[in-house]
Amino acid sequence: MNARSQTFELTVEGRQVDEAVASLFHTVLFHRSLGKFHYKQEGSYSVGTVGYTDVDCDFIDFTYVCCSSESLDRNLKKEISEFSEALRGNDGPGSGQISLEFFQKKKNRWPFQPECIPWEVWTVRLELIKLNNEHERQVCREKVGDMLTEKILYIAEVMNRHEYVPKMPNQSELDLIFDTSYPDVQPYLFKVSFTTSGPSNTSVGTTMKKLIKETLSL
């Protein structure tokens, strides 16, 4: 099965990386998270309520909405800041991409691990720029905000196409579809992965990594 794939490209200053990625991924996760399921008996369950929070960005003129779940936020931010550090650790302007991948698990024969089948991938490709003064920074704040606005509208558009999402499972298979480890929300299973590269060093290693990754995700 081919996963749907969406790619966003952004040009940002180093300190905007975390917020730019978080605003997009949180918006996606907000759409892809349900209330917690509580099974009464087989075939019947109740669904909890998802709360939401407005988040103002510090380095971008932008506000986004995310699930009111501290642990979800913490996990996502952790992944994003690893990416951010790797990206900004490079000398000079660099680029990189980070992906939010939704997958479902398929049970395998013992002793093999269950197979992970991605069904939707959201990728943010970032190009880092250096700014010289506060005026440029101010312009960039607004520009990145405008670009994020477009992306949010696009996310809403995609979400409302109502394309494939995994079927609601029965109780025993809930963990194959949803991440049930959060106490307050129930997102579809997801993982975050990233790659970075310097200005011009598409080394054999990264190309190979990319090749392998792409092969695996098919």
Contact residues toward another protein (CB under 8 A) are 27, 30-31, 34-36, 38, 46-54, 56, 61-65, 67-69, 148-149, 152-153, 155-157, 159-160, 162, 183-185
Q: How far is the CB of 69 from another protein (least distance, A)?
A: 6
Query: Residue 158 or residue 176: which is nearer to another protein going by CB?
Result: 158
Q: What is the smallest separation between the CB atom of 173 and another protein, expressed in angstroms?
A: 18
Least distance to another protein, CB of residue 138, Å: 14
| Shortest distance in whole angstroms from residue 62 CB to another protein | 8
Q: How many CB atoms lie within 10 A of CB 199?
A: 11
Q: Give 126 or 148: the residue with its C-beta nearer to another protein.
A: 148
* CA separation for the pair 198, 168 (Å, rounded): 42
Distance, CA of 34 to CA of 185 (rounded, Å): 6
> For residue 181, how many other CB atoms are within 10 A of its CB?
11
Six-digit token pair at 118?
Answer: 């991605």
d(C-alpha 8, C-alpha 24), whole Å: 9
Nearer to another protein by Cβ, of 39 and 89: the residue is 39
How far apart are the C-alpha atoms of 93 and 129, rounded to whole Å? 6
| C-alpha distances in Å from residue 36, one per residue of 46, 120, 215 | 8, 21, 34
Smaller CB separation from another protein, 68 or 90:
68
